[in-house]
Structure 1
Amino acid sequence: MSSITWHPKATASPRRHGFGFWAIAFAYLAVMALGTVPSPLYPIYQQRDGFSTFTITIVFGAYAAGVVVSLFLAGHVSDWHGRRRILAPALLLSLAGATVFLLWPELPGLLVARVLNGLSVGVVTATATAWLVELHAAHRPHAGPRRAQTVAVAVNLGGLGSGTLLAGLLAEWAPAPLRLPYVVILVALALALVGVLLAPDLRALPEPRPRYRPQRVAVPAAARPRYYAAAFSAFLGFGGLGLFTGLTSTFLAVIMHHPSRALAGASLFLICAAGVLVQITTPGWPLRRSLAVGTVLLVAGIGLAVVAAWLGTPSLTLFVIGAVLSGAGAGAMFRGVLGTTAAISTPEGRAEALAGIFLAGYLGMSVPVIGVGIALRHVSPRVALLGFAVFVTLGVIGAARWLLADPARSPSAAPVAAVRR
């Protein structure tokens, strides 16, 4: 059997490492922002073309399907071919998706644009996260990976929030609400592409190149229980984000009787901002605490949103508080997920392991939301929201012992503990 040799790239200057770190972070943020720009605009599409809420969930599902497909087929290939060679084409896919949104704003165009954006996101999430870890290690060789992990989660959730806020504000107070947000995102993506092309790629390339195969879990066998716990945590956390990202505009308009596009965008921004705030304020938390607190906040937040919807007079304030708590919970859970994955994956398989985590997360973002969309064809939004809350709560309770098992009893405890130091 032939052996594989890893050939490192030439070392760039520390200043270029620092520039590259923030350039990749901006590219990550811009791609994620495009994914949520349509969310506050869905009521406009509905009013103009007569879309049903179920149609909106299908459009949202097209995005998630693109993410899942690209994660499965290409989320890990930057381990073999280098980060820039994979990330730059992914940005071109997002540029193409934004262009389709701009020039073809009918239902078929929305579906095509969402798939293109999803295909891009699936590649970017794993590749950019791995690249950030490598650039941070080169820029600050004596620091641990915590800062890179925090920035990766912050730009992921911050991008999701920025896209909704941008679109909501422009749709409410600027002309051409179905065009101007995409023009702004196109400019941001073009700048991001320039940054990616200039950032140093530090990935050591294997010779000979491994034969292509679809995504698989690339973690040591002894660490897989912790990896699967992290993946299920991502499924639940992204499921909560997916519900609010996909259907907040509908819930606000139908249940709360607040059709403001700016309000919808601001609410979604607050959800994601809460997730980012968790990353900034809890840098020293152990992984188990992040997972435990995140689980409690997620369930409590969704529960508050249900209570707000079922009151005799629905409470907008309580609904937003519940949504924000859910965002904070998802952020805490996601931080624990990335920390666990970074600890138990090998350098040559890091992007592949991360791709598996994001695959689980985006399955969580799509499957429950599509289920809610199907339910809305037969029941009221209140009942659909209640059903989703029951699903998440039972899922968390049923898996609590698995997710929060004492890592000291796990074979993977040592590497997980090592990354916390």
Structure 2
Amino acid sequence: MTTATQPAGPACATDRSAHGRGFWLLAATFMTLMAFTTVPTPIYHYYQERDGFPTFVITLIFAAYGIGVMVGLYFAGHLSDVHGRRRMLAAAIGLTIISAAVFVLSQDTPALLVARLISGLAIGVLTPTATAALGELAAAHRPDRSPAFASTVATVVNTGGLALGPLIGGLLVTFLPDPMIIPYAVFLALAILTTAALWATPETVNPVAPQDRPAYRPQQVALLPEGRASFRAAALSAGAAFSVLGFFTSLTGTFVGRVLGYGAPLVTGSIVFGVLGMSALVQVLLSGLDQRTRLITGVVAIIAGLALVAVAALVRNLPLFVIAGLAAGAGVGLIFQASVATAVRFSRPEARGGTLAGLFLAAYVGITLPVIAVGVVATWWSIPTVLVVFAALVAVVIAACAPVMLRSARPA
């Protein structure tokens, strides 16, 4: 959709202060809702132990989330360009509250699938909307600041939230009763609290009047002509990078528990926290470097990490698997950051939300379909063999896309 976005207008000093507060409130909301999506990671073990289902069912539960994200992105990820950022953020919060309530009220497998699907829908609406809104809030608060600041914060809270979820979930199920209820109840309360944060966040896009809105269409990517090849490479790279996150968030418990013999939920949660936390941390630590240098570092890190994942799977070594995850996580963070920066750079300003939705759609195709494939193939092949093949395929995709992204990266 390419309807002209109507900015909320220039800000006075008081408005700028409100936009600054709103920026950090939205960042906290973004991180909270993203953390909720990975809370189930260390809890899958309990469902599997209780119901005795195979690894493939875990991948299906995870895939329900990914499908929800893709549907949300495709059909609603761009709507904040027309209806305003706050309205769509409110929809994302509402869907998260419903998802958490389903988790709390029912713990059978069909309910898990429904709750994960709704959670995915929420994130499909949230990610492009919040990312665009953070950029606009930052520009209204500090017009002199580089857009890279908001882009970095958006990707850090996105991946940082994903990192916190498994750690918080692992701690809650280890030290509190009712492991299949308490974590979701905690996040149900947090999601309700985010409504107050949203209320205090200024709108950055004036909704288009109903009579001026064109007929509804699913999201479309609107790019500057010179950016199409770069965007395709960024989208493929984001998908490949997120497939690594998909593996770690859905199948770490199975690999660590069944292959390596470490079944404690806190072990699984800590490993996934390390992978996703490194993805967020490296973006902060290397924020002073230019985009090209960060991208090169990310490509080297993810390929090295994937190689170590393959070796760790073959030799069945937990410390090596942890090191591999940290390296791969660092690479994911830097590649995803470069992908978002590329999408923002080459998007048409009036359709930035839709373009970001297209990038996130590619990322969540990567986080979903490869994980389903891994779960299916793992019914015939051993898990170590599957990991070796998976690591090799992802490394090939990253290596193929890297030269195109490097040509379009800003040297400074």
TM-score, with normalisation over the residues of structure 2? 0.95
Report the counterpart of residue 74 of structure 1 in structure 2: 76
Q: Is 1:256–1:309's contact at 8 Å kept on the other side of the alignment?
A: no
Report the counterpart of residue 129 of structure 1 in structure 2: 131
Distance 1:303 1:99 in 2: 40
Q: Which runs of 5+ in 2 are unaligned?
A: none
Distance 1:54 1:4, change over 3 A: closer
Report the counterpart of residue 258 of structure 2 in structure 1: 254
Q: 2:144 aligns with which of 142, 145, 157?
A: 142
Report the counterpart of residue 178 of structure 1 in structure 2: 180
- The aligned runs of 1:8-23 (5 Å cut-off) are 8=8, 11=11, 13-23=15-25
Report the counterpart of residue 228 of structure 2 in structure 1: 224
Q: Is 2:19–2:140's contact at 8 Å kept on the other side of the alignment?
A: yes
- Secondary structure of the corresponding residue to residue 216 of structure 2: coil
Q: CA deviation at 1:226?
A: 1.1
Q: Is 1:7–1:206's contact at 8 Å kept on the other side of the alignment?
A: no
- Secondary structure of the corresponding residue to residue 182 of structure 1: helix
1:300 and 2:304 aligned:
yes
Q: Is 1:306–1:382's contact at 8 Å kept on the other side of the alignment?
A: yes
Q: Is 2:31–2:158's contact at 8 Å kept on the other side of the alignment?
A: yes
Report the counterpart of residue 403 of structure 1 in structure 2: 405
Distance 2:155 2:308 in 1: 25
Report the counterpart of residue 410 of structure 1 in structure 2: none
Report the counterpart of residue 333 of structure 1 in structure 2: 335
Report the counterpart of residue 367 of structure 1 in structure 2: 369
Distance 1:75 1:5 in 2: 14
Report the counterpart of residue 268 of structure 2 in structure 1: 264
Amino acid in structure 1 at the alignment position of 2:45: P
Q: CA deviation at 1:7?
A: 6.4
Report the counterpart of residue 325 of structure 2 in structure 1: 323
TM-score, with normalisation over the residues of structure 1? 0.93
Q: CA deviation at 1:127?
A: 0.1
Report the counterpart of residue 59 of structure 2 in structure 1: 57
- The aligned runs of 1:71-220 (5 Å cut-off) are 71-207=73-209, 208-220=212-224
Q: CA deviation at 1:349?
A: 1.1
Equivalent pairs counted in the alignment come to 406
Distance 1:110 1:31 in 2: 17
Q: Is 2:10–2:140's contact at 8 Å kept on the other side of the alignment?
A: no
Report the counterpart of residue 390 of structure 2 in structure 1: 388
Q: CA deviation at 1:45?
A: 0.2
Deviations 1:364-416 (A, max 9, x none): 00111111000111111111111101211222233343333x23xxxxxxxx6
Deviations 1:253-289 (A, max 9, x none): 0111100100111111111111111111111333333
Deviations 1:196-247 (A, max 9, x none): 1221002144451232110111111221111111111101110111111110
CA RMSD in angstroms comes to 1.7
Q: CA deviation at 1:4?
A: 6.2
Deviations 1:96-125 (A, max 9, x none): 001111111110000000000000001100
Q: Which moved more, 1:346-355 or 1:112-121?
A: 346-355
Report the counterpart of residue 284 of structure 2 in structure 1: 280
Q: Is 2:31–2:161's contact at 8 Å kept on the other side of the alignment?
A: yes
Distance 1:5 1:70 in 2: 20
Amino acid in structure 2 at the alignment position of 1:297: A
Q: Which runs of 5+ in 1 are unaligned?
A: 408-415
Amino acid in structure 2 at the alignment position of 1:307: V
Q: Which moved more, 1:382-391 or 1:339-348?
A: 339-348
